[in-house]
């Protein structure tokens, strides 16, 4: 069954890279929504008529307006959005920061730059299935 994903990153280049990596990993998506910061992501999720709004969110940490940590806090305090798995995709990978984000409710953490296999592994675990078997990245 195709998944609906959301990529939240202030860099259009990074959003395109993550989107391409998801496709290369062989995950079937019905839609990939994009947002340039946490506030934009929340607005789009709350306006969605789908339930859940998306199956998984991939978010950066350091963004203007609302950062990834604030986004996770808002998501986890919203009864309609709290069940959506959130994967942090960031260069900020200090042990304290990663631990704090996981305690806040992030489902996993992927350090930039990352090999496509790492993203495939995380998505497969959270979406309950492996990619479509593509092994060439």
Q: Which residue has the tokens 């806090």?
A: 73
State the pLDDT at residue 130.
44
CA dist 31 and 79 (Å) reads 23
Task: Tell me which residue range forms the domain holding 21.
Answer: 3-127
What sign does the dihedral 25-87-63-37 (CA atoms) show?
positive
Asked if the structure places residue 50 within a domain, the reply is: yes
Cα separation values, 96 from 11, 42, 100, Å: 24, 26, 6
CATH number at residue 81: 3.40.50.2300
Say how many Å lie between the first and final Cα of the chain, rounded: 22
What radius of gyration, in Å, describes the C-alpha atoms of the chain? 14
Q: pLDDT truncated to tens, each residue of the chain (137 aa)?
A: 788 999 999 999 999 999 998 888 778 889 999 999 999 999 999 999 888 899 999 999 999 999 999 999 999 999 999 999 999 998 887 888 889 999 999 999 999 888 888 888 898 888 875 443 333 33
State the pLDDT at residue 35.
98
Asked if the structure places residue 133 within a domain, the reply is: no
Q: What is the tally of structural domains in the chain?
A: 1
């Amino acid at each position: 069954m195709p998944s609906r994903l959301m990529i939240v990153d202030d860099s259009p280049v990074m959003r395109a890279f993550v989107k391409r990596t998801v496709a290369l990993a062989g995950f079937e998506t019905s839609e990939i929504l994009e947002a340039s910061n946490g506030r934009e992501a929340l607005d789009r999720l709350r306006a969605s008529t789908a339930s859940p709004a998306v199956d998984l969110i991939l978010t950066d940490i350091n963004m203007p307006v609302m950062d990834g940590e604030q986004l996770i806090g808002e998501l986890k305090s919203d009864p309609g959005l709290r069940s959506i798995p959130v994967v942090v995709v960031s260069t900020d990978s200090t042990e304290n920061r990663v631990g704090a984000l996981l305690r806040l409710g992030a489902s996993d953490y992927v350090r930039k730059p990352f090999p496509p296999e790492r993203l495939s592994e995380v998505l497969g675990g959270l979406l309950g299935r492996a990619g479509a078997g593509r092994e060439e990245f």
